[in-house]
Each structure stands twice: as structure tokens, then as C-alpha cells.
Amino acid sequence: MSSGKLEVASRREGDTAILSPVGDIDINSQPILSAAIKQIQTDSGLVRLVIDLAGVGYMDSSGVATLVQALQTARKKSTKLVLAAPQPRVMTILQIARLDTVFRVVADVETAKTG
């Protein structure tokens, strides 16, 4: 468990955008991630959005809802959304929500960039 704060870094590598949230994603912090995703999904030339979850130690259903929203937007725009390096606790909530096979989930960002 961490302090509950959330910071989101973003970078662009060619046609791939990588978002790296660090902290807890809950109902209080979720708007920060949601805003970052929405902003990056409007970027021109975006083919793939990678959300690097390595720095997320906790996520509740608010965070899951944010990811589902991002997936729906990606599908509408015919872009890819890849979740990278989720910690076990985050992976567990995706599994409980039966979304672990709905999302493309990979072990690390490098793999995500090729997927």
C-alpha cells in the first residue's frame, strides 16, 4: 500500500504513446489518469497507447472503469491499447472483473511497443 497519491508521466515514441502512472488509482485519483488518457488519445498519428502499470501498487474499480473507457475509445479510433507490467494486486482486480483477457496485457513496456 502506498500514500494514495498518483502522478502520471507520458512520452511519445513514434506512433506509440506511453503513459506511466505511479501511485494508487482509486476514485479520488482516477480523474488524473482519465484526463491523461483522454488527452493522449486525441494526439494525431497515434497507433498504440501503452499504459505502464509497473508503478501502480493499488487499483480499485474506479481505475478499472478508466481503463475500460480507454479501451472503448481506442476501439472507436482503431488504435491499440496495451497494459504493461501490472503488479499482482492490479492483475488480480482485472481478473476478478474478468477483464484480463479483454485487455492486451504484457510483461513489460518493450513488449507492449511491439504488440
CB of 47 to another protein, least distance (A): 22
CB of 4 to another protein, least distance (A): 3
Using DSSP's 3-state secondary structure scheme, residue 67 falls into helix
CB of 34 to another protein, least distance (A): 10
CB of 73 to another protein, least distance (A): 11
Q: In this complex, which beta carbon is closest to another protein, that of residue 24 or of residue 52?
A: 24
CA atoms within 13 A on the CB side of 56: 31
Q: In this complex, which beta carbon is closest to another protein, that of residue 1 or of residue 14?
A: 1
Strand partners, 51: 19, 83
Q: Please provide the DSSP assignment of 39-103 as one string.
A: HHHTSTT--EEEEE-TEEEEE-HHHHHHHHHHHHHHHHTT-EEEEE---HHHHHHHHHTT-TTTS
Q: In this complex, which beta carbon is closest to another protein, that of residue 6 or of residue 18?
A: 6
Q: In this complex, which beta carbon is closest to another protein, that of residue 3 or of residue 44?
A: 3
Phi, psi of 92 (to 5 degrees): -60, -45
Residues at the interface with another protein (CB under 8 A): 1, 3-4, 24, 26-28, 58, 60-62, 64-66, 68-69, 71-72, 88-89, 91-93, 95-102
